[in-house]
Structure 1
Amino acid sequence: MLRHEFQPGKLVAGFFLTLTGVIYAGDAGDAWDTPWFVVIPVVTGGLCLAGAVALVTHAVRRRRAEPSRPDVSV
């Protein structure tokens, strides 16, 4: 049994923030040269994508939890 509910939006956000850390770590270790403004689209795009994934996940879970109503014609 799961201790908590799986939240893919947080997974996506964590991935992009980890990617940002890897980009800065590579720059600090002289593996490559990264301009400071490169990570702004990575973080912003990642957070927007995470928000979209969370919104879709919420909509799917809400729809599945909704009890089906019988079609009553008057």
Structure 2
Amino acid sequence: MLRHEFQPGRLLAGVFLILAGVIYAGDAGGLWETPWFALIPLVSGGLCLAGVVGMVAGGVRRRRRARRPATEAPPSADLPG
């Protein structure tokens, strides 16, 4: 059983930031030449996309909680304290 809920927005933000790190590491290693301004659209676009995905996932999560019957226990109640 999962210990926490899946958060796709954070996963997407991490992927874009790791990609930016790989691009800068390749530039520092001499594999290719990257202009200093090239990663600004990549990082800002990735963070904006991650924010949108996070908001959509939160809305879906809230909607599923609202549709769940009131008598059903939340999934975290099964875990030992």
Regarding TM over 0.5, the answer is yes
Structure 2 residue runs of 5 or longer lacking an equivalent are 69-81
Deviation per residue, 1:14-68 (Å, 9 max, x gap): 0000000000000001110000000100110000000000000001111111137
Aligned partners of 2:6 and 2:31: how far apart in 1?
A: 35
Count how many residue pairs are aligned between Structure 1 and Structure 2: 68
Q: CA deviation at 1:4?
A: 1.1
Aligned partners of 1:41 and 1:30: how far apart in 2?
A: 22
Q: Which residue in 2 is equivalent to 1:4? A: 4
Aligned partners of 1:62 and 1:4: how far apart in 2?
A: 15
Q: Percent identity?
A: 68
Q: Which residue in 2 is equivalent to 1:42? A: 42
Q: Which residue in 1 is equivalent to 2:67? A: 67
TM-score by length of 2: 0.81
Structure 1 residue runs of 5 or longer lacking an equivalent are 69-74
Taking only aligned residues, the RMSD between alpha carbons, in angstroms, comes to: 1.0
Secondary structure of 2:21 counterpart: helix
Aligned partners of 2:23 and 2:15: how far apart in 1?
A: 12
